Amino acid sequence: MKYWQIILFALLFVSCQAQNKNKVKNMNTVVSPNAQTATLAGGCFWCIEAIYLEVEGVERVVSGYTGGHKPNPTYEQVCSGNTGHAEAVEIKFNPDKISYKEILEIFFTIHDPTTLNRQGNDIGTQYRSAIFYHTPEQKAIAETVIKEAQNQWQNPIVTELVPAQTFYKAEDYHQNYYNLHPNQGYCAVVISPKIAKFRKTFKDKLKKS
């Protein structure tokens, strides 16, 4: 390799590393004092996380596991289907910029809530559709949104509506996965088209910067 090629490669590597650090930093921004929490499951958490990171008013999205019976489960244990957990995201959002109702309206357009324990080729209880509500108000809002969303779907919605349980943060390599690995096979084939559809459908909900 020639000297100039080595220099160019080094510059590109440093640039990519800087971009990745910025993306991780963006995910870990400090949340507003009045921030509220939404916990949702709808298939692979890489996809749900990637979309909500683009939503105006959403300040933090963490991928993790909830709804199961085993404390501190690992990804491998959750994938076995034996822990009862669902792959989920914990969303911190500013209610002055986006409402819980709007959070859920997005949710029912970015995954199929009519397929029991599966999203596409991802099959198992860990990929179930679920809303984990944190307050009675959230439960009431979710019930309303589910009824409204049913008009968009021919088959019955099977989304679970259950009280929020302990949320376990997933391993670090799962966090902000799509933005750090956009060319990975699953990301390119499955997630990218969903993000493109979301951006087209919810232009008014995208972050300004």
pLDDT at 30: 81
The pTM for the full model equals 0.85
**Which one, of 87, 73, 49, lies nearest residue 177 by Cα?**
49
Residue 187 appears among annotated catalytic residues: no
Structure tokens at 2: 């020639």
Q: Which of 44, 47, 79, 187 is catalytic?
A: 44
Torsion of CA 32, 38, 43, 45, to 10 degrees: 20
Q: pLDDT tens, position by position, for the chain (209 residues)?
A: 444 343 433 333 333 444 444 444 345 568 889 999 999 999 999 999 999 999 999 999 999 999 999 999 999 999 999 999 999 999 999 999 999 999 999 999 999 999 999 999 999 999 999 999 999 999 999 999 999 999 999 999 999 999 999 999 999 999 999 999 999 999 999 999 999 999 999 999 999 86
Residue-level pLDDT at 1: 47
**Tokens standing for residue 9:** 């490669």
Q: What architecture is the 29-199 domain classified under in CATH?
A: 2-Layer Sandwich (3.30)
Domain ranges of the chain: 29-199
Instruction: Report the 10 Å Cβ neighbour count for 163.
Output: 12
pLDDT of the residue at 208: 83
Runs of H (alpha helix) within the chain: 3-27, 45-52, 75-79, 100-110, 136-149, 177-180, 185-186, 192-201
**What pLDDT is recorded for position 209?**
63
- Residue whose tokens read 């199961």: 68
Q: What is the pLDDT of residue 28?
A: 55
